[in-house]
Amino acid sequence: MSSLPAPPIPGPVQAGQICDPDNISSSQQATATAQQLVCQLTDVTETVMMPAEFQNALKGDVILSPGGTSMISQLLRSMSPPQYHAHSGIMSKNFIEITHCTASEDRLPDYTQGVGGSGGIQPDVLTYMWPGSITQSIGAAVNGENWIDPNGKSYNIGGFTPEAIGNTDNDQFVLTPPLVVKPDPESTAVRTTLQTVAEYARARGGQVDSSGNVTVNPGAHYRLYCYTKPEIALSTPAPADAGWAAGTVPCVCASFVWYCMHQNGVHLDTTGQYVTPADLPPDAVAQGAMAGPEMLDGLFFYPQAERLEGGDVLNTILENEVSDKEGFFGSFFGAFGWNIASDIADQFLNTFAFDNAASGYGSNAWQTPGDANAVSPDNICWWKGPTLGVLGYAEPLQFLDAHPEQYTVSRWTKVITWGSVTGKVTVNGAPVQNAYVFLYDGMDAYTDANGAYSMQHVGVGSYNITAQVLYQGYEYSVSQQVTLTAQKPNITVDLALQPPANVFRRLDLLYTWAGDHSATLQSDQNITIGPDQQSIPLSPGQVSNSLSIDCDNQGNYNIVYQINATLAEDLSIQFDITETMYSGDDQSDRQSQFGPYSFNAPMGGQTGGWVAMDYSTTFWTNGPTRFSFTATNNQDD
């Protein structure tokens, strides 16, 4: 599989050149329009390795990644209410690319000053954290890739997880999925604006080649102080003596998203310059959103008490890492000792609160951080906009890893005849509202309440038409080839959405049963059944299913094993087993029942176990019995 080529690289916007119908920039579209060129299918097909995708994320959508055990994750969970997403970025291409602002924590211990690190982290390294704003393929953003820093050292850079992460806070388990935050599908003007934001962000994202060499665009460096004052990005680029970061603006992940929106005139909470309490959406206020004095549009108020609580959490984390010799600050312990590492923790926290990496070493000034107006990944969900909403709602992210696929090449084709494509989108025969339908990037539509869509001024020729929507927690889609001709330029194409293949699951049970009729009878009364196999199919259309297995001990008794299975959102299969013993072959005389016993088989994985039972009287015993099994969660083809 890995030897398969990638899809062909698009060429310039000229007739006959290869194009990518999924991703056409605004400048490419303008050039194509001027020349009457359209990106259309050819008859050339090849097997390629398609890149990893965020399947339901378009240019300008914001991705929120759940936090795990990192310092920033724990800091945000200390907020009131707790915040469970710790990283964010802007989709800079449809499905396959993201631009975000991040920093390598592993890099900081490599850049200290003074004897044995007694002077703390080099102030410029801590102030202008590397690499800042970057553009990555989805595969690289999820799996990480090696980037070489300005001094020739290599660090793994990524930042996104495609899976839900569970956290336990205050004895409460919270499962946090990654989210796509996007506009209302009916707000076509907002979508166009967000595409402009995406191109603006991409132009400020550094990129890396296959050797790890970095091209730093004039974007942003990662600045801890932006957790306190993100608006410094609007007026304070890094000075000439900042080295690699010179001329870049200060940001962190969420403030980079905010900065790109702000620079393109996007209204996030108000049409005015400053947010008032009346501007905040009621649901955001109910969740704890507050407005502070002279708070710029898109920011939120964090009082000193809450900020100090977060600082205390960070300080505790750093001290624990030092004492346990683990984690980021644990790496300072062996070389520098407790006192030096503790002072470095002060330097780190003071950089957060006051941007004073140079004088914050060993100072407890961070314990009075003051109020702040800031923005976090979870805050982005509160950007409802003053009218229809810039990012009106969020839905769980759908991830598809790199995979082989039959790919049909597209090329720029000159068109002189135009038509239309209309139709209806359904799931199981029912119309689907807000399904996204597209022929190529820029020629798209959303379905109305009746499932209808319409695309006008479509050049005659061949295309792949695709429809997709998040339905019952899964990405349903369909794609097929369509052709408009000069004789028939206006066509109707009805599309029936299908769930992804991997949501069709099957619980395969391989089992063996052994039973003894009576402890006082001869061993020839022992019965063994199996190994045998039975299966339980599950899918979004049938999330629950059951199976009964009847194990008969030659007329002396029989046991029925009732197995109830449920398909979970993460495509694991949760199932329970209840065993019931009956006298003889007749199930009218129930003697005993044990269970239910619960088990879980992860997607593509298996679990095993056994259940046992018996039933005794003064004169005889039925059993003991033992039902042993292995349960595998397979894709049902």
Tokens of 427: 């799931």
What's the CA gap between 40 and 410, in Å, rounded? Answer: 5
Helix, strand, or coil (residue 559): strand
Locate the domains of the chain by residue range. Answer: 1-51+402-414, 62-394, 417-499, 502-635
Mean pLDDT of 129-142: 97
CB 66 within 8 A of CB 85: yes
User: Model's pTM, two decimal places?
Assistant: 0.81
Residue with tokens 């690499």: 131
- Best CA proximity match to 61, nearest among 191, 187, 163: 191
> Is the confidence at residue 284, as pLDDT, over 60?
yes
pLDDT recorded at residue 300: 97
For 438-447, what is each residue's pLDDT tens digit? Answer: 999 999 999 9
**Average confidence (pLDDT) over 374-380:** 96
- With b for 16 or more beta-carbon neighbours within 10 A and e for fewer, the 101-134 pattern comes to bbbbbebbbebbeeeebbbbbbbbbbbbbbbbbb
**Spatial distance between the Cα atoms of 108 and 356, rounded to a whole number of angstroms:** 16
Q: What percent of the chain has pLDDT over 70?
A: 92
User: CA-CA distance, 218 to 205, in Å (whole number)?
Assistant: 8
Mean pLDDT of 258-275: 94
Q: What CATH fold (topology level) applies to the domain 417-499? A: Immunoglobulin-like (2.60.40)
The predicted-structure confidence for 236-266, as pLDDT tens digits, reads as follows: 899 999 999 999 999 999 999 999 999 999 9
- Residue 351 in contact with residue 124, Cβ under 8 Å? no
Q: What is the pLDDT of residues 288-339, one digit of tens each?
A: 999 999 999 999 999 999 999 999 988 888 767 655 555 555 555 555 555 6
476 Cβ contact partners less than 8 Å away, ≥ 6 residues apart? 427, 432, 468, 469, 470, 497, 498, 499, 500
- pLDDT attached to residue 189: 76
Please determine, for residue 61, whether its predicted confidence score (pLDDT) is greater than 60. Answer: yes
Mean pLDDT of the chain: 89
What pLDDT, on a 0 to 100 scale, did the predictor assign at position 401? 87
Q: What is the DSSP letter of 133?
A: E
- According to the model, what pLDDT value does residue 471 have? 84
Residue given tokens 């306190």 in the structure block: 228
What is residue 570's predicted lDDT score, i.e. its pLDDT? 77
Q: Tell me, rounded to whole angstroms, the distance of Cα 565 from its chain centroid.
A: 27
What is the band of 520 on the pLDDT scale with cuts at 50, 70, 90?
very low
- Cβ–Cβ under 8 Å, residues 73 and 67: yes
The pLDDT value recorded for residue 620 is 74
Instruction: Report pLDDT for 523.
Output: 45
Per-residue pLDDT of 71-101, as tens digits, reads 888 889 888 888 999 999 999 999 999 999 9
- pLDDT above 90 for 624: no
- The predicted pLDDT at position 521 comes to 41
pLDDT in tens, 101-126: 999 988 988 898 887 667 889 999 99
pLDDT tens figures, 447-506: 999 999 999 999 999 999 999 998 877 789 999 999 999 999 999 999 999 988 777 899
Residues 413-428 have a mean pLDDT of 97
Residue 41, pLDDT > 80, answer yes
